[in-house]
Structure 1
Amino acid sequence: MTKMEIFAWGLSGSLAVDVVTAAQFCNSAQINFPDRYKRFAFYMVRFLLALVAGGLAVAYEIDKAILAANIGAATPLIIQAFAQGLGNVPAISTQTPVVDTPTQSPNG
């Protein structure tokens, strides 16, 4: 396989994750797509993530299409592992952070 083919399979594997997610919403009794699918920024970030997925498949020197697609699908987890390995760089989180509100001190 050429590097462009490997890149394309990695990119496709990444995009396939969202296709499967969208199909799950379409197969439910009531179709309610999450708000993220209504935002242009989601598609920009998703496209950039797919490009990273293709690049990772090439960087790992994958020689089989299915393996390149697997790397593409696993790219968010791989990026999280990279971030955690750096130590003080916060990992990507899908949870809403809890913010403590400051209280007044007794002295005022």
Structure 2
Amino acid sequence: MEADGLFPLGRWLSDQRRVYRAGAMTGELEGLGIVWDTADAGFETNLGAAQAYYELHGTLAAPRGATALDQAVGQWLTNVRRPGGLGKEPGRAQRRAAALAAIDPD
């Protein structure tokens, strides 16, 4: 419900994400810098932190409390190593595993 003439932007953006996932996006919004998949955006942020950690320590065998680029990279690495931690969709999980292996094959 609109309050005081305010537009519910969050609801609108959620609707646009649904349209995008359905493959029905016509292209007008794609160049605006909107994050279409928040899970992938979060993964990319943490992947950048993992890269920074690797560059500093030469490994992704980070302790759980390790941080890099103000991200809890150690906890994140613990989470992605769990079964299903790279995502439930097999293609996405394979892409994410490959991105991590590109940083540290071990």
Q: TM-score range by the shorter chain?
A: under 0.3
Q: Which has the higher helix share?
A: 1
Which protein, 1 or 2, shows the higher relative CO under an 8 Å CA cutoff with sep ≥ 6?
1
Q: With the length of structure 1 as denominator, give the TM-score of the two structures.
A: 0.26
TM-score normalised by structure 2 residue count: 0.27
